[in-house]
Structure 1
Amino acid sequence: MADPLDEKTRSIILATVPALKAHGLAITTEMYKRLLATPAIRDLFNLSHQQDGEQPKALALAVMCYAEHINDLGALGGMVERIAEKHVGLNILPEHYPYVATALLGAIGHVLGDAATPEILDAWGKAYWFLADILIGREKQIYEGNESTPGGWTGWRSFRVRSRQRETSIITSFELVPTDGGALFRHKAGQYLSFKLDVPEHGSQRRNYSISSAPGEDHYRISVRRQDGGVVSTWLHDSVEEGDILQIANPAGDFFLNEADSNPIVFLTAGVGLTPVISMLGELTQTRTKRSIRYVHGADTAASAAFQQEIRQFAKDALLTADFFYSKDQTQTQGSASGVTSYAGRITPVWLRQTLDRSATYFICGPDSFMRDMVDTLRAEQLPGTQIRYEFFGSAADPALVLSAA
């Protein structure tokens, strides 16, 4: 357990909040510049999020959130848990933390100049190691829990691509089985896999992909959307074939079903955000849950809505009701059949308010703007925070989502 921060340190951290608001992104950008100069550390990051600036933005928000809540760190429990899960997926170890400390303090001094007094740097050094010790402790628990669970592992494990399936013109699924023939860790539906990939002409890359298969199967399945200009997604779609070997970390993530919850469920997804929800649906339908399930999904067209036939079959079997929204399908008209309703257009806050189920737990995943609209609407309707769950894809650089999830 990390020693509590003293009052003087906390006061200094709070006093730096205005400077962080003005210069936080410059500090985190400089920090990553320093970190990425070290090859052993550079290989731990998704470099595409460095190029588009998303990772520095996300870290700047996290640092700001930490500083603003320095006297009430219990409010950041959710954020700390998500960071710990991400770190475990990337195999971050205690020996990596000093590099970050050096880079962060150096960046603060570089950007703030003379304003970064020895007193301020000392306070931020203490604050950094206080949080680092919490994360290291939690990550140790997760690592040990994974290793002691049947089929679990630490580090990277080799998996073979057993099969690949084209779901839509831009989404392809890959079934993965361990090359050692050993048992498979039973993931929690909604979790993701982290990959260490060697992409020709681009070197070592790290990516996370949600598991779209149900827990308990003899494989993991990921369903990957081809991103315009995406280094890894393009490589997976164009070059990775059956029989190829990929390096994968133990499943991670805190976006999953609460087994103790008996509330009705509403899944709100858009685009490839459906992937963790498909895993959840697989688990729920396998167990023939008595919970009411409503599946709501937005796609460009009917042809781009992956797993649509499976959802329609679930609806036909009366396991759920479904609503499909097609934003670019001008020929689509509203209609219902066998538990499925189709709409032309997008999922809107107006529609969400009109169909609101106050007894339900909402699981939301999709582009940041979509999630923000859905989360803001549910919060405005005063739905309890425990009934609003959502998953970040990418680096979580949207302030409204980061702070409301903290």
Structure 2
Amino acid sequence: MTSEQKQLVKDTVPVLKEHGVLLTSHFYARMFQYNPELKNIFNMGNQQNSKQQTALAMAVLAYAEHIEDPSVLLPMVDGIGQKHTSLDIRPEHYDIVGRHLIASIKEVLGVAASVELLDAWTVAYNQLASLMSGREKALYKKHTEQKGGWSGWRPFVVKQKVVESTEITSFYLYPADGGSVESHLPGQYISLRLFLPELQLLQPRQYSISCRSNSEYYRISVKKEVGSKHPDGMISNRLHNHITEGSIVELSAPAGTFILNESTLAHKVFISGGVGQTPLLSMIENLTNEADETKVSITWIHGCRNEAVHAFKDKITELSNFYSNINQHVFYEQSNELQKNKYKGWVDLEVLKETVLDHKAEYYICGPALFIKKHYNFLVENGVQKSAIYFEEFGPASLHLN
């Protein structure tokens, strides 16, 4: 890009800050009008609740702000690249997106969209697309080179369906071809794709892998969205209501950057709300997969509405009873009888301040955006380094805390 083109892109930052979601909403509507087949790739639930439009607006803004040195965005690029490979996004999709994005800029800005500005954004987009597709090519290659790895969608059989609580059920997924599965890093997710008759579309959803890595299967633990007819809950509800043992589903290879740091023996503090515990289950199983005492000190903090919806409570209790250096703390919003290390109300780290705050610890938080933000802020305000805090927000990213 020329210096003049970079300046033109930077000059759009104020507009993107104020009207970014308007632009991305127009873009998605336009793209789906002209390329309706892409509805089979995008999560239409996130389109309806505007999460995807907001996430894209934030990404475009960040790119415009750092157009002089896009390398500072590499962590974000890696996270998006992981999500794209899990959705089987290919280089040809970037061509379609680019065409509609530039057209949307022209249509939304009107007379303010000069030829020079559109040319600058075209060059900028092509630069970003090249960066993204290059990263994704490397990720696809890495998957296919691993034992049990694959690229794109692969059929799996639901061999076991296990009820974990009144809301959460686990699905044990084995390759339909009888082969092995690619190892996953503790905390990663897989994308699962089903046909939704209600929408007449194939729809993908990401689910955290809730077990430690093995060569045979993946386990996902899915919350039923009771009473929900929103597209965002349709796949989860279809899994609960229509997918039985023996059913076939399609999966993409494991992805995600929210992973356990296994390079140190630092104290691990896991903080989860509701079904947010699923990636943390993979992490704690990974740390306790030997018969001997785990060398890592673990604090497990979980909150949910009540004991009936509390999945895996027996599993975590079993681990904490077996391993002396695992401490479990549970918060129930609704509860009459509370025992040791069980509390009434929402997760409150202030109550556990002496146990939780450790300048050598690493913190892993997963749950709704407000849950993450609350506990992240508490830790930072109490002297925890941001680099020691890892978090996973389900759905399109809306938090940029680090």
- TM class, shorter-chain normalised? over 0.9
Matches within 5 A, 1:389-404: 389-396=390-397, 398=398, 401=399, 403-404=400-401
2:275 to 272, 276, 279: 272
* In 1: Cα distance, 2:363 partner to 2:21 partner: 32
1:235-384 pair list within 5 angstroms? 235-287=238-290, 288-318=293-323, 319-329=325-335, 331-333=336-338, 335-336=339-340, 341-348=341-348, 350-351=350-351, 353-354=353-354, 355-384=356-385
Distance 1:217 1:274, change over 3 A: farther
Residue number in structure 1 paired with 2:204: 206
- Give the alignment of 1:3-402 within 5 angstroms: 5-37=1-33, 38-202=35-199, 203-216=201-214, 218-227=216-225, 228-229=228-229, 230-287=233-290, 288-318=293-323, 319-329=325-335, 331-333=336-338, 335-336=339-340, 341-348=341-348, 350-351=350-351, 353-354=353-354, 355-396=356-397, 398=398, 401=399
Q: Is the CA contact 1:349–1:373 (under 8 Å) kept in the aligned structure 2?
A: no
Q: Is the CA contact (8 Å cut-off) linking 1:82 and 1:253 kept in structure 2? A: yes
Secondary structure of 2:350's match? helix
Q: Compute the displacement of 1:352 (Å).
A: 6.0
User: Which amino acid is 1:215 matched to?
Assistant: S
Could you tell me which amino acid in structure 1 is paired with residue 311 of structure 2? A
Structure 1 position 345, deviation (Å): 0.8
**Once superposed, what is the RMSD of the aligned Cα atoms?**
1.5
Secondary structure at the residue paired with 1:160?
Answer: strand
Structure 2 contact 180–215 (Cα < 8 Å) conserved: no
Q: How many angstroms does 1:394 deviate by?
A: 1.0
Q: Offset at 1:222?
A: 0.5
SS of the aligned residue for 2:288 comes to: helix
Tell me, yes or no, if the aligned pair for 1:363 and 1:390 is still in contact at 8 Å: yes
* CA deviation after TM superposition for structure 1 residue 262, in Å: 2.3
Write the distance in 1 (CA, Å) between the matches of 2:253 and 2:211. Answer: 15
Query: C-alpha distance in 2, partners of 1:26/1:348?
Result: 37
Aligned-residue offset at 1:258: 2.0
Instruction: Verify the 8 A CA contact 1:353 1:377 in the aligned structure 2.
Output: no
Deviations 1:72-93 (A, max 9, x none): 4333222111100000000000
In structure 2, the residue corresponding to 1:260 is in which secondary structure? coil
TM-score, normalised with respect to structure 2: 0.94
Distance across 1 between alignment mates of 2:137 and 2:376: 32
Q: How many equivalent pairs are there?
A: 391
Check whether the contact 1:35–1:42 (CA below 8 A) recurs between aligned residues: no
Q: Which amino acid aligns with 1:36?
A: F
- Unaligned 5+ runs, structure 2: none
The one-letter code of the counterpart of 2:347 is I
SS in structure 2 at match of 1:350: coil
Report the 3-state secondary structure (helix = DSSP H, G, I; strand = E; otherwise coil) of the residue aligned with 1:110: helix
Separation in structure 2 between the aligned mates of residue 125 and residue 282 of structure 1, nearest angstrom: 47
70-79 or 264-273, which moves further after superposition? 70-79
TM-score (norm 1): 0.93
Using the TM superposition, give the Cα deviation of residue 383 of structure 1 relative to its aligned residue in structure 2, in angstroms: 2.2
Change (3 A) 1:353 1:135: farther
What runs of 5+ residues in structure 1 fail to find an aligned partner? none
Q: Which moved more, 1:238-247 or 1:101-110?
A: 101-110
Residues in 2 aligned to 1:233 and 1:57: alpha-carbon distance in whole angstroms: 23
SS in 1 for 2:221: strand
SS of the residue aligned with 1:48? helix
Residue 381 of structure 1 and its aligned partner are, at CA, apart by: 3.0
Mapped partners of 2:173, 2:185: distance in 1: 17
In the alignment, is the contact (CA less than 8 A) between 1:162 and 1:242 conserved in 2?
yes
Amino acid across the alignment from 1:306 = A
Q: How many percent identity over aligned positions? A: 39
User: 8 Å contact 1:332–1:343 — kept in the other structure?
Assistant: no
Deviation at 1:353, TM superposition (A): 4.9
Cα separation, 2, equivalents of 1:163 and 1:171: 14
1:351 to 1:131, Cα distance in 2 relative to 1, 3 A = farther
Contact 1:212–1:276 under 8 Å retained in 2: yes
Displacement of 1:70 after TM fit?
2.3
Deviation at 1:8, TM superposition (A): 2.2
Q: Which amino acid aligns with 1:321?
A: N
Distance verdict in 2 for CA 1:352–1:107, change over 3 Å: farther
